[in-house]
Amino acid sequence: MATTFPGAEDFVVGLIGMGDMGKMYARRLGAAGWRIMACDREEKYEELVQEFANYKNIQILRNGHLVSRASNYIIYSVEAAAIGRVVAQYATRLGAIVGGQTSCKDPEIKAFEEHLPSDVDIVSCHSLHGPNVDPRGQPLVLIKHRASDESFQKVETVLRCLGSKHVYLTAKEHDRITADTQAVTHAAFLSMGKAWHATKQFPWEGSRYVGGIENVKINLMLRIYAQKWHVYAGLAILNPEAHKQINQFAKSATELFSLMLEGRREELRQRVYAARDRVFGPEGKPTWEDRPLLPVELLDRFSLKPPSSAPTQPAPKTLPNNHLSLLAMVDCWSALGIVPYDHMICSTPLFRLWLGVTEHLFRTPALLDECLRVGVEDATFRRDDLHFTIAACGWAECVELGQFDTWRERFCVTQKFFEPRFKDAMAVGQAMIQAVLESDKREEQAGWR
Ligand SMILES: NC(=O)C1=CN([C@@H]2O[C@H](COP(=O)(O)OP(=O)(O)OC[C@H]3O[C@@H](n4cnc5c(N)ncnc54)[C@H](OP(=O)(O)O)[C@@H]3O)[C@@H](O)[C@H]2O)C=CC1
Ligand SMILES: O=C(O)C(=O)Cc1ccc(O)cc1
């Protein structure tokens, strides 16, 4: 271990909550040589002891009382909605540093301020990626909320072994940015899943959803529904900054879809092109880089469709689609004055993929014009679009009203529908994200980014 502060050999990192993220942190920090003491709920003690029996630096304790008392730096890695209750339960060691890894900082910081004594320093963090993504090179937000420089440096020293890019924000800035990036992106994929569920289709099975953009929609939708509901509910409902975005996304989808249904071609065109100019810069002076964010052709091969049993058959062609979800995304950013590139330092792989396909559509005028034509003239995707719009409004209302139970039921019923395909989807989605990350890395090395 790089012992870069005095006494680091005796420094204990405590982890309360050994779910997907807690385990990932424990394994990586432990492997780097830090002493870890960790717990989950008491009933999971035996199981965790067995699971971590061969990890030299990781000791499983029965509960958060024991972890809190023994640790110099405690990371809460529990459900965002539970953080207040959990922090209130445990007495923290004198002079310790405390932080959380929840996706939304408003309730986390409120819980710390309310329940921690004043001798405890508060430094929170947020890894902007899921537990199965390699943290190296991904953004890691660090929030020095109430801490000495020395405590903050200790936290940085500990977390440096993740190899992530450190991004320094306040809790409010964090919530604002993740509302613009994560919460509203998830709203789009959650709505797609509901629409496909409502129309009882596995979109990769037919010949309607073919090609790179559709692969991104399908794989990321499945990736989200394969996760735990509370992660997405928490970052939408508990982030006070997110409600406006999710609401606007639903409004944008509804208004654009209405213009399509009513055949108001020119108004639709003007609105979409005005949004393009606001988000991506005016015609002739776009703000995007010379090189596209995403090599979209790379995405063609990440289809969940089983290979054809008749290899001589031509591959199915991409059907023209109005890409309502992408048009609504840009309309939403435009209405709220959001420039998504401003948030790249703080973006998740999923957001970069979503922005990448959006950029591809908007920097290809022939494709964008085709979306507008299809939107007005072609009814092939109308039923799916109707359900997409209804779903976007349903999610928005649920978030606005803070309906955790309804949110969970909406999510879980659709999760069940797609469940049989999660195993395949996770493998293909993982390979797709990996390919994009590698292509990002190559571009960085070549000095293009
Ligand atoms: N998954 C992701 O992609 C990411 C998640 N995050 C955030 O990290 C946090 C953890 O997420 P994740 O690991 O995915 O979720 P998990 O549900 O996998 O893990 C949370 C764990 O905390 C446990 N827990 C609840 N109460 C206590 C308690 N009193 N003492 C000890 N353990 C407790 C939970 O038990 P039980 O299930 O029984 O309640 C659960 O095992 C969340 O706030 C999430 O928003 C951040 C970045 C990425
Ligand atoms: O990339 C995404 O948006 C994900 O879905 C994974 C994820 C979920 C929650 C987080 O707090 C951070 C990353």
Q: Tell me the per-residue pLDDT of 90-123, one tens digit each, with 9 for 90 and over.
A: 988 889 999 999 999 999 999 999 999 999 999 9
pLDDT-above-70 percentage for the chain: 95
Q: Of 77, 102, 182, which is best to mutate to test ligand 2, by the most ligand atoms within 8 angstroms of its C-beta?
A: 182
In this structure, the residue with its CA closest to atom 6 of ligand 2 is 130
Distances (CA, A) of 129 to 21, 135, 212, 322: 10, 7, 22, 30
Of 238, 240, 239, 230, the closest CA to residue 78 belongs to 230
Counting ligands in written order, the one closest to the CA of 39 is 1
pLDDT classification of 416: cutoffs 50, 70, 90:
very high
Q: Which amino acids bring their CB within 6 angstroms of ligand 2?
A: 103, 128-130, 182, 224, 231, 235, 348-350
Q: What is the ipTM of this complex?
A: 0.99
CA of 62 to the centre of ligand 1 (A): 16
Cβ of 64 less than 6 Å from ligand 1: yes
Cβ of 125 less than 6 Å from ligand 1: no
So what's the pLDDT on residue 242?
Answer: 95
Q: Counting atoms of ligand 1 from 1, which one is nearest the CA of 127?
A: 47
Q: Which residues of 251-282 are buried (b: 16+ CB within 10 A; e: fewer)?
A: bbbbbbbebbeeeeeeebbebbbebbebbbee
Say if CB 233 and CB 104 are below 8 A apart. Answer: no
Please tell me the least confidently modeled range out of 32-41, 91-100, 279-288.
Answer: 279-288
Compute the mean pLDDT over every residue in the chain, rounded to the nearest whole number. Answer: 92
pLDDT classification of 245: cutoffs 50, 70, 90:
very high
Residues 6+ apart with CB under 8 A from 307: none
- Torsion, CA 1, CA 36, CA 127, CA 294, rounded to 10: 60
pLDDT classification of 431: cutoffs 50, 70, 90:
confident
Counting ligands in written order, the one closest to the CA of 125 is 1
Counting ligands in written order, the one closest to the CA of 227 is 1
Highest-pLDDT range among 13-17, 128-132, 362-366 = 13-17
So what's the pLDDT on residue 430?
Answer: 84
In this structure, the residue with its CA closest to atom 40 of ligand 1 is 19
Cβ of 203 less than 6 Å from ligand 1: no
CA of 77 to the centre of ligand 2 (A): 14
In this structure, the residue with its CA closest to atom 19 of ligand 1 is 19
Segment 52-65 shows an average pLDDT of: 97
Segment 266-272 shows an average pLDDT of: 98
Residue bearing tokens 């890695």: 77
pLDDT classification of 449: cutoffs 50, 70, 90:
low
Cα–Cα distance between 338 and 351 in angstroms, integer? Answer: 14
CA of 266 to the centre of ligand 1 (A): 48
Please tell me the least confidently modeled range out of 65-69, 155-159, 276-280, 349-353.
Answer: 349-353
Cβ of 84 less than 6 Å from ligand 1: no
So what's the pLDDT on residue 175?
Answer: 95
Q: What are the strands, taking DSSP E only, across 69-120?
A: 73-76, 97-100
Which has the higher per-residue pLDDT, 309 or 407? Answer: 407
CA of 325 to the centre of ligand 1 (A): 30
Of 70, 53, 88, the closest CA to residue 15 belongs to 70
So what's the pLDDT on residue 397?
Answer: 97
Cβ of 14 less than 6 Å from ligand 1: no
Counting ligands in written order, the one closest to the CA of 111 is 1
Q: Is the pLDDT of residue 77 over 70?
A: yes
In this structure, the residue with its CA closest to atom 18 of ligand 1 is 19
So what's the pLDDT on residue 268?
Answer: 98
Q: Of 15, 16, 21, 238, which is best to mutate to test ligand 1, by the most ligand atoms within 8 angstroms of its C-beta?
A: 21
Cα–Cα distance between 313 and 230 in angstroms, integer? Answer: 44
Domain ranges of the chain: 8-169, 175-445
pTM, two decimal places = 0.94
Strand duo 139-146 + 121-127: pairing = antiparallel
- Tell me which CATH homologous superfamily contains domain 8-169: NAD(P)-binding Rossmann-like Domain (3.40.50.720)
pLDDT tens sequence across 180-238: 999 999 999 999 999 999 999 998 887 788 888 898 999 999 999 999 999 999 999 99
pLDDT tens sequence across 347-405: 998 999 999 999 999 999 999 999 999 999 999 899 999 999 999 999 999 999 999 99
Quickly count helices (H) and strands (E) in the chain. 18, 8
So what's the pLDDT on residue 442?
Answer: 61
Highest-pLDDT range among 8-12, 81-85, 445-449 = 81-85
So what's the pLDDT on residue 445?
Answer: 63
Cβ of 22 less than 6 Å from ligand 1: yes
Q: Is the pLDDT of residue 310 over 80?
A: no
